[in-house]
Structure 1
């Protein structure tokens, strides 16, 4: 089956976006090699742009390149998962505190809208990682720290990659949305320390869910 590429960006950018989606949704599963022939035929492109996309995703940690063996989706050890969450916690707790200082009313509206869509998504079956990212992106926007936001994006992708390989319990998704609502309350009150504390607890639970 072919996949339609978006037309508003370059071929290289389109290929990166589509390949990233295949990886993050688990369609190319953890530990699986990227079948260059199959993927290039599916996307209707030559292997040149695909290899560029593979190198790009490897630079983001979403693929691992091995000489003479091609690219595969990585599988993280428990120690690597813990290290990944140490980094994510440091970044996102700082962002939550900044968001409490810098947020506008428009930022609060965006965060609340993301929570509403996430609760609706629990009943409609919309792919959960997009809903989760929408909230965290709104929080990053409120923090107004582009350098933190870019590093968070790269770390979040690797967490999504882990979640694609497991079945996340409905109760866990509900708890995450509850955490998001608590974060909004703290950010609305400009309580930076409280927002950072909630974010830390939230990420600890996500980490433990993945390790379990």
Structure 2
């Protein structure tokens, strides 16, 4: 429906079920008016039945109005069928940066902080990717110069592979730390670049 956003953790077209459901309803100005959270949804006889469903209503300032309404089971008047959801699923890895920024903004409205944080880490990683080859090249310079007198051609190739591998291990660790929430997403995506850049410049300065 127009002005209705769906966020689903797990979806199966075969069983016509979805889990971890969050539905956001907005007005014409994209202000949040209603939030529906359910643990599971099952499509039967042309209707969606939601389980352990909680509904929140919001005022124009985004504040919750009245007490949340809870239903153990509730039939939802949602026109979308399982096939509709399957065709409309968005994959962040296939989005361009602008689409991903908009997607993150919409998810942040749902209060899904963990998902939002993970997507922000992935987004900032995309911004840093063009600098990766430069960083690896800088990291390889001091090692190449230190080994130039005794390294054979194959040894030089081996050093390059090891240097690249160590960088990607460091980058993976930094991204994991960011997704765990220990550091902000931007620092998580850029930390490996900063560490390697600083280390490379230090080693280059120490060369005889």
Q: TM-score scaled by structure 2? A: 0.22
Choose between structure 1 and 2: higher helix proportion.
1
Instruction: Report the structure number with the largest CA radius of gyration.
Output: 2
Tell me: higher relative CO, structure 1 or 2? Use CA pairs within 8 A at least 6 residues apart: 1
Q: TM-score scaled by structure 1? A: 0.22
